[in-house]
Amino acid sequence: MSDEAFREFLNEAEKYPLMWDSFELKAVGATKNESLYLLGLSCTLSVALHPTHEILFQTPDLLIVKEAKALTELQSIINSVSSGSVTVAGHTFIIDGFTNYECRIWGGSGQGWLDILYPYILLQYVGKPVREVIDESSLHRELEQWGYRCIWDLTQEKIGFQVGGAYSTQMRFVAPIFVEASGAFVNDNLRLVLRCSPSLKTDDLSAGYEVALNYFGNRQTERGRLDFLDATRIEDGVSFTLVKELPLLPQAESTVAWLFHSSRADPLYTLRIIKPATVRTNPVWGAMGLALSRQSGGQLLSARQILEESLGLMGEVRDSGRFEAAVHNMLSCMGYMCIFTGREWGTQGIDTLAFAPELDRVLAASMTVANNIGEKIRTMLPKLQELKTNLEGISVLPVIIAAVSPDVVLHSDHEDAKAHGIVLVLKPELEQILEAISTLPLDEARQRWDSIIESSNSGRAPNIL
């Protein structure tokens, strides 16, 4: 066992003095040759834990226990582990074959390997596969009597991580850094809220930010850094809360904020904050933006970027289901009540029926990611006739929405669509519609759509000014 690993872990932990006063041990071991061999150990630093111990699970061949201790006893535990054994709740576990380790710090909000709210320092040792330590098959048969399929199900429940099967024997030493960070747009201000352990110092905390701005479709970013020295401070006896507001321009759409501690260069938290819908903007678009935006490869993907990719505006798109869902969402952002009617239901011809809010007209939309306009026209005509015959008092407008450029569509397909009164909505129209729903109120976005449909139906270029 490497003393260097524990020194690295303790050196990191010492950067946050008075953060913890106790720790909790959980250990799982199996009996072999009348000795108890360690399969998994977790040691988590904490606050205000009272000394206690408990047996979590016990059979003749398997034991899981936990114990809480004062922080002053941590060094003796480390010394014992380094010597090849550890005693938890009065039971001594033999440590064999733990050689590989990694010590690092993970960010907050559930990032990293462990399901922990806070940023945390993690020292992890990985040892032999469990099957090299014990007879795993016989252990599984024993656990079936207790309702567990295998040892990794049991250990996940009892100690918080899995050992057995593809999971090797493990030891984890965890030091949570007790600070919670959140952010929100309040009017045109960015509000950052930190809930901190009393041991944290305000002047050790700072934040960097990057704001995405939209000037009528012209997108820019603004970067900066701030401290919390003048933040509003609220004490509750257990922790303190810092509230900091940063004035932003009304054109701000989203912000990425990074929380830093002076002890290290990497951020403790990364927050991605999207501005909710306002009176001027489209509330449906705002809600969709909050739901769809996500992190990918360390970057924030906005709802607009996701839709641009799904609609084929960033390049070729081959996933027809994703394309149809994107169009469906755009129609919803203009107030249409949409019904899926496509292949998922075993039908052909019409993929979506989109009813206007007034229920006086319905869009009968067929969608495609390929240049097969002629085929789409042929398959939708029988359904169109049926709709027009049976929907009294409702105007039926046939639309083919395709992720293709106008110049690749056959002239004969253009003429065929025109002859049957079918509107073609292609990439240029999709781009205009996406711009409208992301920048205009819902009613104005629908008016823009109506203008595009009307001009496409008449063969004229749309007036979008």
Tokens of 205: 């905390």
- Listed residues 153, 176, 199: the one ending a domain: 176
* Stated pTM of the model: 0.56
**Strand, coil or helix: 418:** helix
pLDDT value for 166: 65
Q: How far apart are CA 19 and CA 16, in angstroms?
A: 6
> Does 350 share its domain with 454?
yes
> Does 58 share its domain with 134?
yes
Mean pLDDT value of segment 59-64: 92
CATH number of the CATH domain containing 271: 2.60.40.10
Q: How, if at all, do strands 35-46 and 168-176 pair? A: parallel
Q: Is 50 exceeded by the pLDDT of residue 197? A: yes
> Does 254 share its domain with 375?
no
Question: By residue range, what is the domain housing residue 255?
Answer: 179-275
> Does 85 share its domain with 111?
yes
Tokens of 337: 């009540």
pLDDT value for 238: 77
Q: How far apart are CA 431 and CA 211, in angstroms?
A: 24
Map tokens 């872990």 to a residue: 9
* Counted domains in the chain: 3
Condensed to tens digits (0 to 9), the pLDDT of residues 154-184 reads: 888 888 878 887 678 889 999 999 898 999 9
Q: Is 60 exceeded by the pLDDT of residue 460? A: no
> Does 165 share its domain with 204?
no
368 and 403 Cβ atoms separated by less than 8 Å: yes
Lowest-confidence range among 134-138, 309-313, 358-362, 368-372?
Answer: 134-138
